[in-house]
C-alpha cells in the first residue's frame, strides 16, 4: 500500500477533493497518486494568488482571507482524521512511590495495539489524539507522562527523567498485557519513541514519527536562544522580555530559575511566557485555539516546568548524538517519518539528519505545514502512515 493512500472509509465519509474536481471524475487523481499530496483547492489557490498583490488588498480583505484560510484548514483536518470516539477503559497506574500515570484505551479491544507518546514533555494527551487511528483495526492506548495531564502529582519534577518514562511505558505495556505494540510520537514524542524503541526493540512492531526532535544542543539553541526569533520576532520579544538583559546569555537557564521559584506566581508568569512562545510558533498559520492553551495556568505550569527540566538536563542522554548513534538497534523496524517543511519548533534539519542515518525509514515532507500534528497535510500523512503499517501487519 502506498504511503499516499487514504483509507476508503475516510474518503467516503469526507471528500478530500475540491468541488471543482468532483464535478469532473476524469480529473480526480487515483488514491495512490503523488498529486494527492499537493492539490490546491480553489479557495486556497485564490488566497495564494491574492497574496502576490498585497498592495491591492485592504487590511479588512486580508483579515477575511486569513479567516477563510483558517476555516478551510479546519475542514481539511476534519476530512483527514477518523471520527471522535470515547475510551472503553481508563485507569491510573502507580509507577513509583511518587508518581501515578493516567491511561486510557479506545478503538478495538482485540485490535493491534498502538501507544501514543505525547509531546512536550509535559504536554499531556487530548481526545483528538485518538483520531489518527482506525478504531476498527487499532487498540489505541493514550497515557499522560509523569507530571502531565491527568497524571499525578501535577508538574512534579522529582523522579522525572527520560529513563523513568521508558520504564513507565514498559510497566503500562505489562499492566495491559500487551506483548508488543506500535509507537506513534511527535515532537518530544518522537524523542521518547526513539529512546524507548532503542531500549526495547523487541517490543515494537512499527513506528510513526512526526516533527523530529533529537534534543541536541543546536536544536535547543535554535528555538530558545534566538534562532526561531528570526521567523517570529514579535512572539520572541514577549518570551525574551520577561528575562532581564543581564540574564539573557542562556534563556533556558534563566527560565529554569523562575519556573522553580518558591513564589508560585513567579512560576505561573514564567510558565505562561514559555508556553505561549511555543504555542504561537507551532502552526504555519497561527491557531487561536492552540495559543489559548498558553493562557491556562494549570496546563502551562506542567508544560513549561517539565520541558525546561528535561532541556536543562539535555534529555538525560549520555551524549548529544545519543539517538542517532543508536539507530542500528532499530534499523529493522518499519518506520515512517512525517515532517513539516516549515516547522519552526523542530526544524527539518533534525528529520533530515535522522533520515540520513536511517534511510530505511520513509521520510514524508509536508510542503505546507509547520510543527503541529493538527495541520491538514500533516494530519493526512500521519493517518496515511498508520494505514501503511496497518497494511503491513495485515499481510504478515
Active site positions, annotated: 187, 343, 371
- Residue 383: its H or E element: helix 376-394
Q: Is 210 helix (H, G, I), strand (E, B) or coil?
A: strand
d(CA 232, CA 144): 30
Beta strands in the chain (DSSP E): 89-94, 100-107, 112-117, 138-143, 181-186, 204-210, 335-340, 362-366
CA-based nearest residue to 143, from 181, 176, 183, 102: 102
> DSSP states of 5-66 as a string?
---HHHHHHS--S-HHHHT-GGGSPPTT-GGGGG---HHHHHHHHHHTTGGGS-HHHHHHHH
> DSSP states of 258-271 as a string?
HHT-S-HHHHHHHH
Question: What one-character DSSP code corresponds to residue 97?
Answer: S
Query: For residues 223 and 345, is the Cβ–Cβ distance under 8 A?
Result: yes
Task: Count CB atoms within 10 A of the CB of residue 199.
Answer: 18
d(CA 357, CA 380): 25
Q: Is 212 helix (H, G, I), strand (E, B) or coil?
A: coil
> Peptide bond preceding 121: is omega within 30 degrees of 0, i.e. cis?
yes
Amino acid at each position: 500500500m502506498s504511503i499516499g493512500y487514504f483509507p476508503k472509509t475516510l474518503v467516503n465519509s469526507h471528500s478530500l477533493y475540491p468541488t471543482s474536481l468532483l464535478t469532473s471524475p476524469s480529473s480526480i487523481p487515483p488514491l495512490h497518486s503523488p498529486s494527492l499530496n499537493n492539490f490546491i483547492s480553489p479557495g486556497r489557490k485564490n488566497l495564494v494568488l491574492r497574496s502576490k498583490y498585497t498592495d491591492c488588498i485592504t487590511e479588512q480583505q486580508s483579515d477575511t482571507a486569513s479567516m477563510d484560510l483558517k476555516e478551510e484548514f479546519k475542514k481539511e483536518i476534519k476530512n483527514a482524521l477518523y471520527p471522535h470516539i470515547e475510551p472503553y477503559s481508563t485507569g491510573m497506574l502507580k509507577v513509583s512511590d511518587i508518581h501515578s500515570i493516567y491511561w486510557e484505551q479506545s478503538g478495538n479491544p482485540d485490535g493491534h495495539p498502538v501507544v501514543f507518546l505525547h509531546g512536550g514533555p509535559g504536554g499531556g494527551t487530548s481526545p483528538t489524539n485518538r483520531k489518527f487511528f482506525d478504531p476498527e483495526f487499532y487498540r489505541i492506548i493514550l497515557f499522560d507522562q509523569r507530571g502531565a495531564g491527568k497524571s499525578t502529582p501535577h508538574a512534579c519534577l522529582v523522579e522525572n527523567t527520560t529513563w523513568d518514562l521508558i520504564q513507565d511505558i514498559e510497566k503500562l505495556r505489562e499492566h495491559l498485557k500487551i506483548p508488543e505494540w506500535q509507537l506513534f510520537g511527535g515532537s518530544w514524542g518522537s524523542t521518547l519513541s526513539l529512546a524507548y524503541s532503542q531500549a526495547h526493540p523487541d517490543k515494537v512492531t512499527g513506528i510513526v514519527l512526526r516533527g523530529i526532535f533529537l534534543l541536541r544542543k543546536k536544536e535547543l539553541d535554535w528555538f530558545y536562544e534566538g534562532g526561531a526569533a528570526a521567523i517570529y520576532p514579535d512572539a520572541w520579544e514577549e518570551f525574551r522580555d520577561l528575562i532581564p538583559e543581564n540574564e539573557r546569555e542562556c534563556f533556558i537557564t534563566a527560565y529554569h530559575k523562575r519556573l522553580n521559584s518558591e513564589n508560585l506566581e513567579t512560576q505561573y508568569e514564567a510558565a505562561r511566557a514559555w508556553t505561549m512562545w511555543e504555542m504561537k510558533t507551532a502552526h504555519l498559520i497561527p491557531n487561536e485555539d492552540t495559543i489559548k492553551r498558553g493562557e491556562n495556568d494549570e496546563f502551562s505550569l506542567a508544560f513549561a516546568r517539565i520541558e525546561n527540566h528535561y532541556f536543562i538536563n539535555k534529555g538525560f542522554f549520555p551524549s548529544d548524538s545519543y539517538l542517532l548513534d543508536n539507530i542500528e538497534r532499530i534499523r529493522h523496524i518499519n518506520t515512517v517519518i512525517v515532517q513539516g517543511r516549515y516547522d519552526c519548533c523542530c526544524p527539518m534539519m533534525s528529520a533530515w539528519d535522522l533520515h540520513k542515518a536511517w534511510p530505511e525509514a520513509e521520510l514524508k515532507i509536508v510542503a505546507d505545514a509547520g510543527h503541529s500534528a493538527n495541520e491538514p497535510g500533516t494530519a493526512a500523512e500521519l493517518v496515511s502512515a498508520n494505514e501503511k503499517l496497518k497494511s503491513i501487519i495485515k499481510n504478515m
